[in-house]
């Protein structure tokens, strides 16, 4: 059986975090910049870059990072952004800040920056990180350095050539496709965001080298484009595919249209690379979406595109319920590397976001599906008929492009590797090496650098928590105070013993007398408070009457001091009858002189067994005595007799 242990969240773990579904050894490059989560649009804005950090945390704590090559791409600069956008627009984004935005009022109106696309701190840097990851991913696909590239910070498909739109400022998708077109003859763009990918479609509306396919909500909905009849113009006619949908589409319905359409696109267009935009606002329960897809229904689209085995760039996009977007993108990352994740979330630094169920799944709701089978079938037939009108395979004359491609060349990467080794000669594994290393799914046992993983945000319980020696307690053990007759101590005595154990050992006064007993005569120390516990005078004889002989044959000190007077014997026997509860082991041990001064008739026997007749005889006498009279005599006689006897006995050994 698998070992069961509890993770830091208190969840019993008896199953692995993931299971390998297929091992086709695809090389997956994963682009993530830790600064992306530091940017925020404005207070209350639905677009939150922090969701990318949440998704990355799940990827790390599910251990999916082991199968990824993790990269931090160089942010795109002005010269790279202006391959699509106008120089004036990019210059404006670079200059405008919340402090000086009042001086750019005319430009804000011209470039549609203000309401949906506000000016915030670090706006241009945020755009550079988003575009840089997508362009670097395309460059690695071009150089055949990976089979799949992932950039969840990308997918901003609404941005236009010189205009911001729909929370998007720089269209990283267009920039990535332009990079792919330097080496690929035909590129397919697929958009499963709930909104129409108008910015990408507009950029390639007149070319047959890029086919754009968008499944989106159409009607009284942003951005209002994406009609079925929008198929492109000029050379790009029939190379723009739009599938308008209505509210509430679910997993089965979505799959029934997505797979046939994409299959027909692959058949007629035959792309050499695919760009997939995975907007999370098509999930059920999104703040701005109106579809009813579950996490698995959304991921089935990603898995289906992956099955064609083409170089694929996977990007993020919309998604405004952070916890659902993070769950879905992390799950799709696992599917891209060929693993199925455990439905129970591992503990991570954002664990509280996923309450109250703390599960990976995003489920569909009972929302009504307004897409009738007849409507969907009609749209599907029309789309496939348009695809049949495309040329068999667009013939494109390819020639070397003089400009240098985006990203680092192989020689530059080798130089960085050599520099990294020279600067970290005493390091077993550098950060760069750790990020680029991929674990093999067919290994018998995988190895990992746990310290490096922890430094990168992995909260991984390596098994049961370390035990303390105090965790192993004997449930059958007796309390600290045991009776010499072998019975367990009562609860009141056990509590007194626990309190006494916390106090330092001090000399004990008997009956509030100034005469003290030496420390070596006080044994055991845990029983000292018993002499001080009685609050009344009548309770003092009770303690002395319960005195017994210990295992060594020594007589209790209190018994030796208080037995010479007859009334004392009557008091203790009467008290024994009313409260026969056994007392603890001898509280104080007598001196040899005190033991020899006892009368012969009251001397203790040599063994504990002989002590039993004494309480019985005293009990018969106590029945005839009146309890109130006995209490009076005890209060008058016992302290005096005890003090005189001690003084006499203390003088005898000296003579």
Assign 396 to helix, strand or coil.
coil
Q: Is 158 a catalytic residue?
A: yes
Pairwise CA distance, residues 64 & 56, whole Å: 10
Assign 359 to helix, strand or coil.
strand
Of the candidates 158, 195, 216, 298, the residue annotated as catalytic is 158
Is residue 639 packed enough to be buried (19+ CB in 10 Å), middle (13-18) or exposed (0-12)? Answer: middle
Pairwise CA distance, residues 37 & 49, whole Å: 5
Phi and psi (nearest 5°) for 634? Answer: -65, -40
Estimate to the nearest angstrom the gap between the alpha carbon of 297 and the chain centroid: 25
For residues 198 and 225, the answer to whether their CB atoms sit within 8 Å is yes
Q: How many CB atoms lie within 10 A of CB 412?
A: 10
Largest CA distance in the chain: 132
Task: Characterize the bridge pairing of strands 5-6 and 273-277.
Answer: unpaired
List, in order, residues 6 or more apart from 439 with CB less than 8 Å away: 66, 67, 446, 448
Pairwise CA distance, residues 227 & 320, whole Å: 25
Assign 218 to helix, strand or coil.
coil
Pairwise CA distance, residues 205 & 197, whole Å: 12
> What's the angle, vertex CA 372, arms to CA 371 and CA 375, rounded to 5?
90
Q: How far is CA 469 from CA 4, 8, 466, 472, in A?
A: 20, 20, 10, 6
Phi and psi (nearest 5°) for 17? Answer: -70, -25
Pairwise CA distance, residues 90 & 78, whole Å: 7
Pairwise CA distance, residues 17 & 10, whole Å: 15
Residue 80 DSSP label: H
Block residue for tokens 């773990």: 13
Q: Where are the alpha helices (DSSP H) in 370-526?
A: 373-388, 410-423, 431-436, 450-455, 491-501
Estimate to the nearest angstrom the gap between the alpha carbon of 443 and the chain centroid: 27
List, in order, residues 6 or more apart from 179 with CB less than 8 Å away: 135, 138, 139, 142, 405, 406
The per-residue DSSP string of 440-485 comes to -TT-SS----HHHHHHTT-----SSPPPPGGG---TTPPPS-B-TT
Can you say whether the dihedral through the CA atoms of 255, 261, 267, 271 is positive or negative? negative
* Tokens read off for 220: 């009284």
Query: For residue 169, which of 76, 258, 237 has the smallest C-alpha distance?
Result: 76
For residues 151 and 313, the answer to whether their CB atoms sit within 8 Å is yes
Pairwise CA distance, residues 122 & 120, whole Å: 6
Pairwise CA distance, residues 430 & 455, whole Å: 12
Which amino acids are annotated catalytic? 158
């Amino acid at each position: 059986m698998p070992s069961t242990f509890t993770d830091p969240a208190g969840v019993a773990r008896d199953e692995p975090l993931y299971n390998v579904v297929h091992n086709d050894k695809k090389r997956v490059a994963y682009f993530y910049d830790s600064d992306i989560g530091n940017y925020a649009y404005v207070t209350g804005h639905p677009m939150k870059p922090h969701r990318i950090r949440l998704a990355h945390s799940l990827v790390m704590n599910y251990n999916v990072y082991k199968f990824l090559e993790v990269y931090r791409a160089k942010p795109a600069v002005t010269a790279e952004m202006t391959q699509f956008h106008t120089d004036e627009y990019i210059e404006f984004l670079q200059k405008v800040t919340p402090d000086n935005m009042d001086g750019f009022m005319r430009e804000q109106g011209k470039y549609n920056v203000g309401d949906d696309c506000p000016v915030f701190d670090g706006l241009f840097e945020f755009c550079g990180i988003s575009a840089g990851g997508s362009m670097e991913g395309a460059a690695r696909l071009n150089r055949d350095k990976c089979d799949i590239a992932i950039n969840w910070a990308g997918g901003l498909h609404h941005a236009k050539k010189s205009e911001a739109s729909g929370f998007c400022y720089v269209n990283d998708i267009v920039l990535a496709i332009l990079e792919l077109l330097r080496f690929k003859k035909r590129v397919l763009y697929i958009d499963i965001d709930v909104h129409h990918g108008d910015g990408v479609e507009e950029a390639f509306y007149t070319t047959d080298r890029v086919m754009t396919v968008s499944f989106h909500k159409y009607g009284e909905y942003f951005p209002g484009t994406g009609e079925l009849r929008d198929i492109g113009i000029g050379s790009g006619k029939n190379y723009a595919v739009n599938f308008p949908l209505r509210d509430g589409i679910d997993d089965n319905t979505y799959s029934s249209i997505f797979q046939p359409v994409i299959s027909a696109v692959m058949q007629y267009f035959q792309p050499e690379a695919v760009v997939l935009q995975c907007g999370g606002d098509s999930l059920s329960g999104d703040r701005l979406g109106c579809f009813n897809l579950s996490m698995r229904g959304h991921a089935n689209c990603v898995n289906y595109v992956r099955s064609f085995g083409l170089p694929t760039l996977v990007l993020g996009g919309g998604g405004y319920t952070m916890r659902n977007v993070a769950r879905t993108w992390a799950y799709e990352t696992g599917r891209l590397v060929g693993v199925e994740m455990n439905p129970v979330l591992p503990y991570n630094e954002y664990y509280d976001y996923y309450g109250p169920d703390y599960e990976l799944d995003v489920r569909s709701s009972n929302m009504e599906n307004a897409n009738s089978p007849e409507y969907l079938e009609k749209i599907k037939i029309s789309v496939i008929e348009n695809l049949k009108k495309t040329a068999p395979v667009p013939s494109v004359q390819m020639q070397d492009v003089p400009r240098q491609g985006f990203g680092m060349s192989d020689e530059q990467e080798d130089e960085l590797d050599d520099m990294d080794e020279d600067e970290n000669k005493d390091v077993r594994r550098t950060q760069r090496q750790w990020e680029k290393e991929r674990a093999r799914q067919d290994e018998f046992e995988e190895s990992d650098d746990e310290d490096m993983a922890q430094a990168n945000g992995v909260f991984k319980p390596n098994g049961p928590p370390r035990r303390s020696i105090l965790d192993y307690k004997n449930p059958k053990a007796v309390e600290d105070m045991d009776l010499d007759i072998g019975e367990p101590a009562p609860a009141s005595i056990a509590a007194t013993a626990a309190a006494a154990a916390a106090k330092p050992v001090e000399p004990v006064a008997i009956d509030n007398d100034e005469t003290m007993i030496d420390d070596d005569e006080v044994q055991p120390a845990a029983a000292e408070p018993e002499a001080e516990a009685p609050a009344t005078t009548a309770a003092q004889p009770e303690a002395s009457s319960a005195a017994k002989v210990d295992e060594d044959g020594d007589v209790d000190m209190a018994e030796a001091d208080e037995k010479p007077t007859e009334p004392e014997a009557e008091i203790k026997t009467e008290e024994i009858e009313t409260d026969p509860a056994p007392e603890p082991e001898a509280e104080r041990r007598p001196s040899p002189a005190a033991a020899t001064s006892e009368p012969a008739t009251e001397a203790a026997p040599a063994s504990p067994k002989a002590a039993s007749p004494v309480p019985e005889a005293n009990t018969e006498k106590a029945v005839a005595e009146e309890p109130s009279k006995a209490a009076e005599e005890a209060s008058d006689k016992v302290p005096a007799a005890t003090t005189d006897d001690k003084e006499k006995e203390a003088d005898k050994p000296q003579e």
